Structure 1
Amino acid sequence: MKFYRDEGMVLGGHKLGEADRIITVLTRSHGVIRAVAKGIRRTKSRFGSRLEPFMLVDIQCHVGRSLDIVTQVELLEPFGRGLVGDYDAYTAATVMTETALRVSEAEPDTRGQYLLLVSAIRSLCKGEHPPRLSLDAYLLRAMSSAGWAPSLIDCAQCGAPGPHRAFSSPLGGALCPACRPNGAFLPGEEALLHMAALLAGDWPTAEASPEHAKAQSARLTSSYVQWHLERKVKSLAVLERA
Structure 2
Amino acid sequence: MPTYRDEVVILRTHKLGEADRIVTMLSRRHGKLRGVAKGVRRTSSKFGARLEPFMVADVQMYKGRSLDIVQQAESLGSYGADIATDYDRYTSASAMVEAADRLNEAETTPQQYLLLVGGLRALARGDHDSRAVLDSYLLRAMALSGWAPSLLACARCGVDGPHAGFAAPLGGSVCDSCAPVGSPRIAGETGDRLRALMAGEWDIVDAGSPHSAASASGLIAAYAQWHLERGIRSLGAIGSMR
Please give the TM-score of this superposition, normalised by the length of structure 2. 0.96
Q: CA deviation at 1:241?
A: 6.9
1:241–1:200 Cα change, 3 Å: closer
Q: CA deviation at 1:9?
A: 0.5
What is the alpha-carbon distance in structure 1 between the residues aligned to residue 61 and residue 240 of structure 2? 38
Structure 1 residue ranges, 4+ long, deviating more than 4 angstroms after superposition: none
Whether the 8 Å CA contact 1:79–1:122 is kept in 2: the answer is yes
Aligned to 1:132: 131
Whether the 8 Å CA contact 2:143–2:149 is kept in 1: the answer is yes
1:46–1:210 Cα change, 3 Å: closer
Q: CA deviation at 1:103?
A: 0.5
Q: CA deviation at 1:163?
A: 1.3
CA deviation digits over 1:147-176, x for unaligned, max 9?
100011221112212111100000000011
Aligned-partner residue type, residue 192 of structure 2: L
Where does structure 2 lack aligned partners over 5 or more consecutive residues?
none
Whether the 8 Å CA contact 2:58–2:74 is kept in 1: the answer is yes
What is the alpha-carbon distance in structure 2 between the residues aligned to residue 215 and residue 77 of structure 1? 30
What is the alpha-carbon distance in structure 1 between the residues aligned to residue 202 and residue 72 of structure 2? 39
Q: CA deviation at 1:127?
A: 1.2
Where does structure 1 lack aligned partners over 5 or more consecutive residues?
none
Whether the 8 Å CA contact 2:167–2:183 is kept in 1: the answer is yes
Q: How does 1:136-215 map to 2 (within 5 A)?
A: 136-215=135-214
Q: Does 1:122 align with 2:121?
A: yes
What is the alpha-carbon distance in structure 1 between the residues aligned to residue 205 and residue 152 of structure 2? 15
What is the alpha-carbon distance in structure 2 between the residues aligned to residue 208 and residue 42 of structure 1? 47
Q: How does 1:78-97 map to 2 (within 5 A)?
A: 78-97=78-97
What is the alpha-carbon distance in structure 2 between the residues aligned to residue 223 and residue 233 of structure 1? 10
Aligned to 2:52: 52
Aligned-pair RMSD on alpha carbons?
Answer: 1.3
Aligned-partner residue type, residue 39 of structure 1: G
What is the alpha-carbon distance in structure 2 between the residues aligned to residue 188 and residue 214 of structure 1? 11
What is the alpha-carbon distance in structure 2 between the residues aligned to residue 127 and residue 46 of structure 1? 29
Aligned-partner residue type, residue 184 of structure 2: F
CA deviation digits over 1:90-134, x for unaligned, max 9?
111111111111101211x32111000001111111111111111
Aligned to 1:104: 104
Whether the 8 Å CA contact 1:6–1:60 is kept in 2: the answer is yes
What is the alpha-carbon distance in structure 1 between the residues aligned to residue 85 and residue 31 of structure 2? 30
Aligned-partner residue type, residue 213 of structure 1: S
Identity over aligned pairs, percent: 51
Does the residue aligned with 1:72 lie in a helix, a strand or coil? strand
Whether the 8 Å CA contact 1:166–1:188 is kept in 2: the answer is no
CA deviation digits over 1:192-211, x for unaligned, max 9?
22111110111111222222
1:71–1:120 Cα change, 3 Å: same
Aligned to 1:232: 231
Please give the TM-score of this superposition, normalised by the length of structure 1. 0.96
Aligned to 2:34: 34
CA deviation digits over 1:45-89, x for unaligned, max 9?
132311011111000111111111111111111111221221111
The alignment of Structure 1 onto Structure 2 pairs a total of residues equal to: 241
